[in-house]
Structure 1
């Protein structure tokens, strides 16, 4: 169980109390230092005045100094020391001068020998008591030093400290009581507001926000009340949208599953028929391929797809998982593609069989036509024209077969992908095209994709051929290669005949021709753009087309860049 945080009132009172105590302690220390300095200064001034009196009273004869020092010391109640210029003690009221050490290094004596009044505090090495010393120069380098014990000063300071401590404690107690009362009074409106917010969070309708009479808190209360109203309205909107979403998703044929961590947050009815009504966690998803798709390892790919079979008779299910950015959610879609797969298999079989069946007679037609062109002598001109037509048709038939075989290969053969430069590939194909009837401009930038070179070459070649085929002589074709949003784009634009808007959605269908007659005249098979689309999708990309009739068309191949 998490530890409960202290209340704001307790924190406020604690900080106020600590601040007050620190301030009082600081003031006490400052006042203590001031009093100590004041008392020591008083003692120094008194010693200085008495020292000057001693200066006047000392005899000039050195032999009389000891007796005079003792007499003056007894009268004044202080210690008097007379020191020669070399630091030796001439007389002392408290000790035998002959037994005393040289005083030339004592700080106060050093100052006095320099012609100044010397002051110092220390424990006397002679008598072992803390003294306040004042040394004054007399005459001929002689120094008189007077001293008093600091005992009386320390006693006075101790008495003042006791008084200071008592008043400090009284002030601290009064201050703490005041701080507690202020904190209690200040926090009451906040506590009332907190209770109202707690009621709102529990869903209590029509919660009244109390007014405190404090402008800032009243503004906060108004903001909370407005926020509560807006939240209630948004919840109603969300509930309404959720109902609409459930209705829409329930009507879909595709199974939709929303996964949050290890939990299945939502599954529409079609999905429930596939994963089971009781499945509530990811571990309960079957088959195992579904669990592998949405595992943390799969999240690096952002998207994952897999096919599996379920039920009896077996149904083909296409599963796709998409990791929703920053939400941590995974959207799993389950599509029954049994019928689509069956139709696709039939179509592939047809294309493969038709290609193989048509290639042999097409080759024979072409060979026979060439024989006619070289062997017939009767009406050679007509024979030549006829033979040329047969040859052209045979060549066209051969192209159709070639395109069919390309489609069949693309659908059945697993591509070998390698990193390659899409820009170089496009430039090579434009150079190989060698068209002079139209003006071609090329603009490329570096774009590396991972793909099958032969397949991409075939797609670009068909796209360029399509543009040349439907652009009149003297027209323009613009070829571009650029990158956009982690994808490489090959764009071929022309100012040719254009495509009617009704036909545009179907231009990538197999054998679909916008203008049947023109397609035959220009040698089109109706499979070129279908191949382009298949190659793009094979590489995880897409194709798109835009066109305005009589103004031109723009075709694009969009392929993901190499990771």
Structure 2
């Protein structure tokens, strides 16, 4: 079986990949934008220099002093570190900052010259046959009364542009590497911050499983994990209470049985009346122990069968199931002159496990009988509401304080332990009702007013 990775190794790589993807995207966009920006700046610079040359040589072109134009080109070219060329409309070169214009070829076929003559300005990025390298050219026509006198062309080697961009890319690369390292460190810190509380909860849960029920989980800063820690702590409190209650509920009858057996051994057995009374008490406590064990086994079976999906569900009429539960509780109800009223449509059906629903309803009726006064009344109403089936058991008993309602379905949780034990309760009946409702995909609720009684409702899906 392949070993599972820790949570941090699920979170950290994802954070890191996202950070690197964002960084690469930003770097690419920045590089692309810088390249365009720098090329535009070079073009603007070449245009500005061409305009400057135009201002100085236009009068000289009009006068026809071409050798002076070549001298100006060579002087200005050194000053502004830019190649400057002056070409007549027929393509004849009359001035160049780098070469002898007499030795230069006719430039009438150069694309930037053609553009300038036809549309005032022109530019191109191409290989120079004269210089033997790639150049960026900008050309502008010099006009006099709409007549083109000449074309001024400025240019720089593309290598200079590439060198500047390479230097810029190098800075971007180093900055990106630094940001990558920082992003990796931050991702690690964030991943550890997220996974550490979960690791602590895992260790605590393992401690719970091994029997360390006294510890509590620290509450993390994040709302979701804090809620999870609170739920785990509450679950452990429930488990701790359950263990304490089971111990108490089992120990109480065992202690009584042991005490009465010792009394019998010490001579009470020779006194028939006392021996009979003691044996009746022992039998009563034994019955109570048996009830507790039976209820615990019922809960265990419910959980196991639910997990393994062994329960069988059939679509059946509900009224016979309710009547059967009422019949099973009839003797106890009649002993207190309590009447059961049933309101259920004869044709109402639901997909249920009949035995379990009968048990749940019986538990609620038994509970109602125990806590109702002599001559009380219990109403069982079964109806369909919003696509669900509601089985409502209402009594006229003593009721339950609001402070107990949230925990009333916990195992062994009873409002009045002494009274419950006196009435023969195990503290597991309502927990069984809750589990039966849950295995049917439903739930259970309770409403109560002290002195007026309780209303328990089992909710079941119709299908």
Q: TM-score, normalised by structure 1?
A: 0.37
Between structures 1 and 2, the one with greater helix share: 2
Give 1 or 2 for the bigger CA radius of gyration: 1
**Higher relative CO (CA 8 A, sep ≥ 6), structure 1 or 2?**
2
Q: TM-score, normalised by structure 2?
A: 0.44
